[in-house]
């Protein structure tokens, strides 16, 4: 488990005076073939333009065997600008056919400002 708190080291917005504070916590836990990741963060924007932000995710994963995993992830993000929060549900499968190769397929259902967006992502990565 990690606890974090930071203060922006330099002004970050266009008027060169606004800063922000950020606090968060993340957790990663595994037991046998089951895993869980979660994170939450809150920002305090010291700005007349930017608004405080809130976000979190939770992601359980089940490793069916050493190379195949099923996961679900729920994301929540509120920019604080009055648009309402964004929510995303992701269902994914990961296959590691070799130690340095990962293939992933995921279905995304995103709810933003009362609109539902559906998408599919196929990806691969190679480490060397």
Going residue by residue through the chain (128 aa), what tens digit of pLDDT does each one get?
555 555 554 444 445 566 777 788 889 999 999 999 999 988 887 777 777 888 999 999 999 999 999 999 999 998 877 777 899 999 999 999 999 999 999 999 999 888 899 999 999 999 98
Domain boundaries, given as residue ranges, for the chain: 2-8+19-126
Q: Do residues 63 and 33 make contact, with C-beta atoms less than 8 angstroms apart?
A: yes
* pLDDT value of position 5: 53
* pLDDT value of position 11: 47
| DSSP calls for 22-61 | EEEEEEEEEETTEEEEEEEEEEEEESSSS---EEEEEEEE
* DSSP H or E stretch at residue 68: strand 68-78
* pLDDT value of position 36: 96
What long-range pairs does 58-63 form, CB within 8 A, spacing at least 24?
Answer: 60/34, 60/35, 60/36, 61/34, 61/35, 61/36, 61/37, 62/33, 62/34, 62/35, 63/33, 63/34, 63/35
* pLDDT value of position 20: 73
Which residues, 6 or more positions from 93, have their beta carbon under 8 angstroms from its beta carbon?
68, 69, 70, 71, 104, 105, 106
* pLDDT value of position 43: 83
* pLDDT value of position 10: 46
Strand partners, 98: 101
* pLDDT value of position 101: 96
């Amino acid at each position: 488990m990690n606890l974090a708190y930071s203060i922006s080291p330099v002004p970050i917005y266009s008027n060169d005076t606004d800063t922000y504070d950020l606090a968060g916590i993340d957790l990663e836990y595994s037991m046998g073939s089951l895993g869980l990741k979660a994170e939450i963060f809150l920002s305090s924007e010291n700005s007349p333009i930017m608004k405080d932000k809130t976000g979190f995710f939770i992601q359980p994963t089940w490793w069916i065997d050493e190379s195949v995993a099923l996961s679900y992830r729920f994301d929540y993000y509120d920019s604080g600008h009055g648009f309402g929060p964004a929510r995303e549900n992701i269902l994914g499968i990961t296959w590691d056919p070799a130690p340095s190769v990962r293939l992933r397929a995921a279905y995304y259902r995103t709810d933003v400002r009362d609109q539902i967006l559906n998408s599919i992502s196929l990806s691969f990565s190679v480490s060397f």
